[in-house]
Structure 1
């Protein structure tokens, strides 16, 4: 049923009042606009027939949601809800967009996520706001379980744009795991990424069990990723640095840039799902019991 896009604006209020305001707005739209009212978004998006009905406790996902892009947070939420992972790492994420995505997941699909941010810059062009108070931009992690011990690290050299990583401790499959989420420097900045990987890999090595999510902007056999491969493996069982041709691509330009690396954890299933709402695909993995 179509709804006016103003429904979504109610979702940016405080946590307690946000959902109440959104529900009231829905009723108001039905009364004032009617079931055929115009709007650039449907209030809800139907999920595929094989969509899960609740959070999958051993499932993790990474997704570069594309920014700046003229995409609906309702659509983004629907894509996440179809797979309902325990943990989601988002890149190119504005705080305001992530707040809306989280609220849509709860209101429309009954999926309740905690969220932590790893913003590394404030950017008006990407995230709106005002020139003197632009929106925060970077990474975010959503988890169905609470998160603790958040750290946000900006890389000493971000390349053409500030970049960094965030890390939190949360539950995956019922056990605590250190989860990292990063976005490395853009393509053709190999030396910058090599420096960033040195910082990230040294931190990953401190943990016996870790999940590393992100857009690494590098193909599997890129030399700058060698330090990551030394400490972790990709959840794609056919993808290793020496077997580039068998890696499932994760972008619209047919390159593998998005990874779920595991340290001390065994993957069960790996899946890549192209998205009409981003130039990066959704990458997810189900993990063996820890």
Structure 2
């Protein structure tokens, strides 16, 4: 019996020693040895993506989707703060892309983000930037519609120039009057800055009247897209509507791309920009 007990203790010691040597397994807790080699984001590339929520998607897959394009700035909507934190972790550990992050939480909701019933997860927008972000601002619209909505803004660098970057998510479809008030409030703030990039899900097609304040200030990164009766705008959703925009002031688009994604009902929208 003493021999058997000694043999068992030896086995336990060997297993524990192996665990120490191997370290945490990726992707849940990638060790320093298993991290991807550091790589740079594309310094003039910006991206917007509605993550889809509630949707049972893996944050590992979401991070891999973002890493395909490696933008300097990423705006995400319908985002749980815990999910964004994990996406950021996977971007660094699995893809070598390091980002700063700011959260534009507008509500805490268990049905969106889980958590304890008395402490539900934070939900809203987020901005990730390879360059540092300053002058963070978060604003909730006076009327969010059927769910709280808002915008967030930071100052960062794109194409080597300082720029005010906004990320927003307007009220859901069939709430045109509420979206009109939200777009008007956002446009008044955007108008204060000569160089801005406004990213987000506006829940409205380009010729919708509620987007008029934004079109009066800025152009979409898609050079073929204008608020005219003869639209030539590439759809950004599974239901073949353009709801996702990259509005520009003080920048010109070099390229514009819409990529379907298996991980959301919205497509990935990104553009390479040149400062004017």
Q: Same fold (TM over 0.5)?
A: yes
Q: Distance in 2 between matches of 1:79 and 1:94?
A: 17
| Per-residue deviation, 1:28 | 12
Report the counterpart of residue 80 of structure 1 in structure 2.
66
The answer to whether the 8 Å contact 2:27/2:60 transfers is: no
The answer to whether the 8 Å contact 1:221/1:244 transfers is: no
Is 1:252 aligned to 2:251, yes or no?
Answer: no
Is 1:235 aligned to 2:221, yes or no?
Answer: yes
Q: 1:161-195: per-residue Cα shift (whole Å, max 9, x none)?
A: 00000000001111110000000000000000000
Q: How do 1:31-42 residues align onto structure 2 when only pairs under 5 Å count? A: none
**Which stretches in structure 1 are left out of the alignment for 5+ residues?**
1-20, 30-42, 45-52
Report the counterpart of residue 189 of structure 1 in structure 2.
175
| Per-residue deviation, 1:24 | 2.3
Report the counterpart of residue 150 of structure 1 in structure 2.
136
Q: Distance in 2 between matches of 1:211 and 1:175?
A: 12
Q: 1:51-80: per-residue Cα shift (whole Å, max 9, x none)?
A: xx6310000000000000000000000000
Count of matched residue positions in the alignment of Structure 1 and Structure 2: 248
**Which stretches in structure 2 are left out of the alignment for 5+ residues?**
1-19, 29-33
Report the counterpart of residue 33 of structure 1 in structure 2.
none
Larger radius of gyration: 2
Q: Distance in 1 between matches of 2:158 and 2:150?
A: 23
| Per-residue deviation, 1:244 | 4.9
For residue 228 of structure 2, give the secondary structure of its aligned residue in structure 1: helix
Report the counterpart of residue 52 of structure 2 in structure 1.
66
| Per-residue deviation, 1:27 | 7.6
Q: Distance in 2 between matches of 1:28 and 1:175?
A: 34
Q: Distance in 2 between matches of 1:217 and 1:75?
A: 25
Q: Could you state the TM-score of these two structures normalised by the residue count of structure 2?
A: 0.87
Any runs of at least 4 consecutive aligned residues in structure 1 with deviations exceeding 4 A, and if so which? none
Report the counterpart of residue 39 of structure 1 in structure 2.
none
Report the counterpart of residue 17 of structure 1 in structure 2.
none
1:284 to 267, 270, 275: 270
Report the counterpart of residue 99 of structure 1 in structure 2.
85
| Per-residue deviation, 1:140 | 0.1
For residue 108 of structure 1, give the secondary structure of its aligned residue in structure 2: helix
